[in-house]
Amino acid sequence: MFDTLDEIERQLATGEDVRAEFKEVVFTDRGVRSPNTEDMAGEMVAFANAEGGVIFLGVEDAGVVRGLPEDRMADVERWIVNVATNNCDPSLRPLIRRERLPLADGSETLVMLVEVHRGLYVHGTSGGRHYVRVGSSKQILAGAPLARLFQERGRAFVFDEQPVPTATADDLDRERLDHFFAMRPLSIPWPDLLRNTRVVSAAEGGPDRPTVAGLLAFGKAPQTHLPSAYIEAAVYRGTKLTSDDLAHSDRIGGWADVQIDDSTAFVERFMLKPARKPVGRDDYPQYDIGTIHEAIVNAVAHRDYSIAGSKIRLFLFGDRLELHSPGSLPNTLTIETMPYRVFTRNQLLVSYLSKMKSRRTGRAFLESRGEGVRRILEESERHSGRKPVYELFGQELRLTIWAKPSPHEEGADV
């Protein structure tokens, strides 16, 4: 939006409208004095609750460019990030960029453009107000109109099908796409194929952008645009989550399917495999690795990717494995009904994984739909003698799988 100098100058000449807001910035020694944080947050959420827009900082209401001091640009950027993160609820991630614009005397000055995209949720300010952009100003949103917006955004929201605003089709791995769509009809043009399969989302008046699922399955570097979409794995010597006992840690990123296989390999590498040698050698691995693979598949396929800053966490302790997955259960699902009901949060990502084969097993990642949780519970209990435990802590689901006791432990059932 307003990607060229010509577009910016035309907007300045036209004035504020449904997609543009001008703000002059006043500084103190310590930071930004005006606009205040609530006002700035209000402008951001108003655009997010409408169709998106750009806030021009360093421009008077009448469109006159005043500019921002070059040595204060970093202060302004930190202030914007703070307002978007702490004064908008849910927080926003605007695109911030600097532009040099000409002044009347022929010199140049810096302004800052804060681009806010249409929100996936209904956004409010930390002061408890909801706004929407109408014409050239923001208006309070309350009562029936606010309820309708909540209803509309709820129906339209499927996060893994949403376009990623910072990415373009160039961020997709063509070789990987060619392999996945090797059997595609040659009569379908490549751009249409990507749109039809929702690898990309077609934007009116703009470039096609990869969807969240498209990046996770086919992106050249998914974590560049989805920084929380990885698995944090760690091994602890004892039974407590303490840095003193941390033996090894790893950040497992890349494509969704690679994360699954690499995390399974991580567990296989670091879990204990005690043995007895009455005649030959009998190994007693702590975990049934097929079950661990299934649990990681579930975590990657069904986690909530919309929760910024939250990643899957995989911890190996002396007596158990813990798998923490971002996202609460939907209203229709409970811990008790999980083994018997099917819920797919990320339907598009699941559809890709169901057609991809694990390099570890040689089979599709999602072959037995609806049986995963039950298999995890039953086979883990059969292996270790203790039933795994699912627990919900706010916006995070934790699975605990108990380790099989060593045959050398007193009373171990081998």
Element at 400 (helix H, strand E):
strand 396-402
Report pLDDT for 153: 77
Mean pLDDT for all residues in the chain:
90
| pLDDT band at 206; cut points 50, 70, 90 | confident
Give the Å distances, CA to CA, from 128 to 78, 90, 123, 140, 338.
23, 11, 10, 11, 35
Q: How many CB atoms lie within 10 A of CB 241?
A: 13
Report pLDDT for 385: 95
Q: Which of 43-52, 249-258, 278-287 has the lowest mean pLDDT?
A: 278-287
Q: How many CB atoms lie within 10 A of CB 252?
A: 20
Q: How many residues does the chain have?
A: 414
Report pLDDT for 295: 96
| pLDDT band at 124; cut points 50, 70, 90 | very high
pLDDT in tens, 99-111: 999 988 889 999 9
**pTM of the complete model:** 0.67
410: number of CA atoms within 13 Å, CB side?
0
Rounded to 10 degrees, the C-alpha dihedral 312/314/348/358 comes to 150
Domains of the chain in start order, with CATH, are 5-157 (3.30.950), 169-225 (no CATH), 231-402 (3.30.565.60)
Query: Is pLDDT at 281 greater than 80 in this prediction?
Result: no
| pLDDT band at 145; cut points 50, 70, 90 | confident
Amino acid letter at 363? Answer: R
Report pLDDT for 408: 63
Q: Which of 38-47, 70-79, 341-350 has the lowest mean pLDDT?
A: 341-350
Q: How far apart are CA 270 and CA 286, in angstroms?
A: 10
- DSSP symbol at 97: E
Bridge partners of residue 122, in order along the sequence? none
pLDDT in tens, 360-376: 999 999 875 667 899 99
Q: How far apart are CA 184 and CA 155, in angstroms?
A: 31
C-beta of residue 117 within 8 angstroms of C-beta of residue 141: no
Report pLDDT for 372: 84
Give, rounded to a whole angstrom, the gap between the first and last alpha carbons of the chain: 65
